Chains A and B, each alone.
Chain A
Amino acid sequence: GQQVQQSPASLVLQEGENAELQCNFSSTATRLQWFYQHPGGRLVSLFYNPSGTKHTGRLTSTTVTNERRGSLHISSSQTTDSGTYFCAINMGYKLTFGTGTSLLVDP
């Protein structure tokens, strides 16, 4: 079965609304990383968050490792937030990615 599951698969927001992206994983990972993929394809790391809560600007990452879940909260969304968000967990020597959440923020 899929080892990293993300929800929702896609999301449409009006500018200014908040979003909560979920990541659940099936193994005991020790690190969770959130990535943003630009529409052009570049993958940018947003958070490297093994546990607890981290903030950067309008983004908040929360990881609860012993419950095998993480979340990414986007507050006051902007059109420039549109793109695909991936979570990834370490499994041994490699990162295993979820299939992503596609976010579209309408003006």
Chain B
Amino acid sequence: DTTVKQNPRYKLARVGKPVNLICSQTMNHDTMYWYQKKPNQAPKLLLFYYDKILNREADTFEKFQSSRPNNSFCSLYIGSAGLEYSAMYLCASSRDRDISSYEQYFGPGTRLTVL
């Protein structure tokens, strides 16, 4: 089973309110990623977990948080949503962080709309 699952599929949030998105995989992958995808733009890596170690991209460091309570689950947390957070959020996983050797598998995405 190479399925990555995401919940919810659609999320409506108010400006200033927190948002929590969930991702899960049962492939026992070491690495889990979160990407942001806006219309007509390439997916952008926000952060990834390698095992229990969180790595956040420098340009989005303060905007997103994440937790990984166990190997299967990973969340993406926005403390105070702004209009600019409206996007599709894609979760992915891979067997190892060495993506030169291992493929990334993507979930169906969560479409977040902030009003």
Residues of A within 8 A of B103 (CB): 33, 45, 48
In the complex, A12→B59 CA distance in Å?
Answer: 36
Point out the residue from A41, A43, A90, A100 that lies within 8 Å of B100, measured CB to CB: A90
Residues of chain B contacted by A94 (CB below 8 angstroms): 33, 45, 48, 99
* Interface size counted on chain B using CB atoms at 8 A: 24
Bound together, the chains give a CA A42 to CA B42 distance in angstroms of: 13
Check A100/B99 contact, CB under 8 A, given A41-B108, A41-B109, A45-B105.
no
Counting CB contacts under 8 A, is A31 at the interface?
A: yes
* Cβ-defined contact, B100 with A31, below 8 A: yes
Are A42 and B109 also in contact (CB < 8 A) when A95-B45, A95-B104, A97-B43 are?
yes
Q: Most chain-B CB neighbours within 10 Å: which of A30, A33, A41, A100?
A: A41
In the complex where A43-B106, A45-B106 touch, is A86 in contact with B41 (Cβ < 8 A)? no
Give the secondary structure class of B's interface. loop
Could you list 18 A-B pairs, sorted by A, with CB under 8 Å? A31-B99, A41-B108, A41-B109, A42-B108, A43-B37, A43-B43, A45-B103, A45-B105, A86-B43, A93-B98, A94-B33, A94-B48, A94-B99, A97-B42, A99-B40, A99-B41, A99-B42, A100-B42
The contact size tier of chain A is 20 to 34
Residues on A with C-beta less than 8 A from B48 are: 93-94
Q: Any chain A CB within 8 A of the CB of B97? A: yes
Give chain B interface residues in 21-48, CB to chain A under 8 Å: 33, 37, 40-45, 48
Q: Report whether B55 and A43 are in contact in the complex, using a CB–CB cutoff of 8 Å.
A: no
| Chain A: minimal CB distance from B101 (Å) | 8
When chains A and B are docked, how far (Å) is the Cα of A94 from the Cα of B102?
Answer: 11
Q: How far is the CA of A96 from the CA of B37 in the complex (A)?
A: 12
Q: B44 — which chain A residues lie within 8 A by C-beta?
A: 97
| Chain B: CB-nearest residue to A42 | B108
Which B residues lie within 8 Å of A48 (CB)? Answer: 103
CB of B90 within 8 Å of the partner chain = yes
